[in-house]
Structure 1
Amino acid sequence: MKILIGNRNYSSWSLRPWLVLKHFDIPFEDEVLQLQGEGFRDVLPQRSPSGRVPVLQDGDLVVVETIAIIEYLADRFPDKAIWPADIGQRALARAAAAEMHSGFQALRNHAPMNLRASHPGKVNIDAVAKDLHRLETLWGDLLRRSGGPFLFGAFTAADAMYAPVATRIRTYELPVSDLAAGYVDAIYALPAFQDWLTQARHEPWIVDDDEIDVIQGRVKPGTLA
């Protein structure tokens, strides 16, 4: 089994299924497909049916889209507890994952994932306030119900879906409650996440489209080192 991913520092969608594979000890290989650089727009369609990452390859089967990959892994490895065992909790976990998949557009646009960076004060809080409020409500309800440290007690696919949001909160020092901050700490303490983070910090590549100083016009594209 192999997963094609984007640059670890920036690719939030790649992080999600990779965490599931790693945390649940599913044997796999990974390969990074560059998200910037000469010819990258030609390479992606050659390797991915959708022209995007991540892509899971399992024998002759090729699966694209993060949620589809996670659901395939849950079906392929039913003993791994990728989703909660209880049918009601599983429904809530899938609902939370689906909301992350389709929502929180302001956070995506104004606070791109950047694991190597520290950019306190560079995000307009008013622009992301509605998304942060929804996170507080969603995370708060689930964490109080489960007792934590993760949304459903133990780490599940729902947490994998929200891991990139946790990184945005830390990178940009977004204002959140102590409960939400504790959840961010739990994500960062996860060994699988630490593995990804360590590799991300050692990547040499810069993707201008995901650098907030470029997005906000403080520096010109191609000038970050």
Structure 2
Amino acid sequence: MKLLIGNRNYSTWSLRPWLVLRHFEIPFEDEVLMLSGESWRETLAERSPTGKVPVLIDGDLVVPETLAIIEYLADLHPEKQIWPANRDDRALARAAASEMHAGFQGLRSHAPMNLRASHSGKVDVELVRKDLHRVEQLWGQLLSRSGGPFLFGAFTAADAMFAPLATRLRTYALPVSDTASAYVEAIYSLPAFQDWLTLALHEPWIVDDDEIDVIQGRVAAGTLA
């Protein structure tokens, strides 16, 4: 089984199924496909049916798209409880994951994932305030219901879906409650996340489209070291 992923420092959608595979100890290998550089779009188009990452390859089966990959893994390994075992919890977890998949556009647009960076104060809180309110509401309800440290007690696919959002809160030092901060800490403390983070911190590549200083016009594209 192989997972095709983008640059670890930036690729939110790649991080999600990678965490599921690593945390639940499902054997796999990964391959990084660049999200910048010469002919990177053409290379992606050759390897991915959607021209995007991630893509899971299992024998002759090629599965693109994060949630589809996670559902495939859950079907393949029901004993792993990738989704919560309780039916009601499972429904809530899938609802939360779907909301993350389709929503939180403010945070995704104005606070791109950048694991190597520390950009306190560079995101206008007013542009992401609605999303921060919803994050507090959703995480607060689920953590209160489960008792934490993850949304449904133990780590599940729902936490994998929200892991990139958690990194955004830390990278840009966005104002959140103690409850949300504790959840971010739980994500960062997860051994699987630490494995990904270590690899991301050693990547040399820069993707200008995901660098806040380039997005906001502080520096010109192609000038970041």
Deviation at 1:170, TM superposition (A): 0.3
Deviation at 1:125, TM superposition (A): 0.1
2:176: which partner in 1?
176
SS for the counterpart of 1:75 is helix
Output aligned runs, 1:71-110, within 5 Å.
71-110=71-110
Output aligned runs, 1:74-223, within 5 Å.
74-223=74-223
Deviations 1:46-84 (A, max 9, x none): 000000000000000000110000000000011001000
- Moved beyond 6 Å, runs of 4+: none
Q: State how far apart, in whole Å, the 2-side matches of 1:110 and 1:124 are.
A: 8
Verify: 1:4 aligned to 2:4, yes or no: yes
SS for the counterpart of 1:221 is coil
Deviations 1:137-194 (A, max 9, x none): 0000000110000000000000000000000000000000000000000000000000
Aligned length: 225
SS for the counterpart of 1:63 is strand
1:70: which partner in 2?
70
Q: State how far apart, in whole Å, the 2-side matches of 1:105 and 1:50 are.
A: 21
Verify: 1:28 aligned to 2:28, yes or no: yes
TM-score normalised per structure 2: 1.00
Deviation at 1:131, TM superposition (A): 0.2
Output aligned runs, 1:34-73, within 5 Å.
34-73=34-73
Across the aligned residues of Structure 1 and Structure 2, the Cα RMSD in angstroms comes to 0.3
Q: State how far apart, in whole Å, the 2-side matches of 1:223 and 1:38 are.
A: 16
Q: State how far apart, in whole Å, the 2-side matches of 1:42 and 1:135 are.
A: 36
SS for the counterpart of 2:3 is strand
Question: Which amino acid is 2:10 matched to?
Answer: Y
SS for the counterpart of 1:56 is strand
Identity of aligned residues (%): 77
TM-score normalised per structure 1: 1.00
SS for the counterpart of 2:173 is coil
Deviations 1:199-225 (A, max 9, x none): 000000000000000000000000000
Q: State how far apart, in whole Å, the 2-side matches of 1:70 and 1:81 are.
A: 12
Q: State how far apart, in whole Å, the 1-side matches of 2:141 and 2:158 are.
A: 14
Q: State how far apart, in whole Å, the 2-side matches of 1:153 and 1:161 are.
A: 15
Q: State how far apart, in whole Å, the 2-side matches of 1:120 and 1:63 are.
A: 37
Question: Which amino acid is 2:63 matched to?
Answer: V
Q: State how far apart, in whole Å, the 2-side matches of 1:89 and 1:147 are.
A: 13
Q: State how far apart, in whole Å, the 1-side matches of 2:188 and 2:41 are.
A: 32
SS for the counterpart of 2:116 is coil
Q: State how far apart, in whole Å, the 1-side matches of 2:175 and 2:165 are.
A: 13
Deviation at 1:196, TM superposition (A): 0.1
SS for the counterpart of 1:57 is strand
Instruction: Name structure 2 gaps, 5 residues minimum.
Output: none
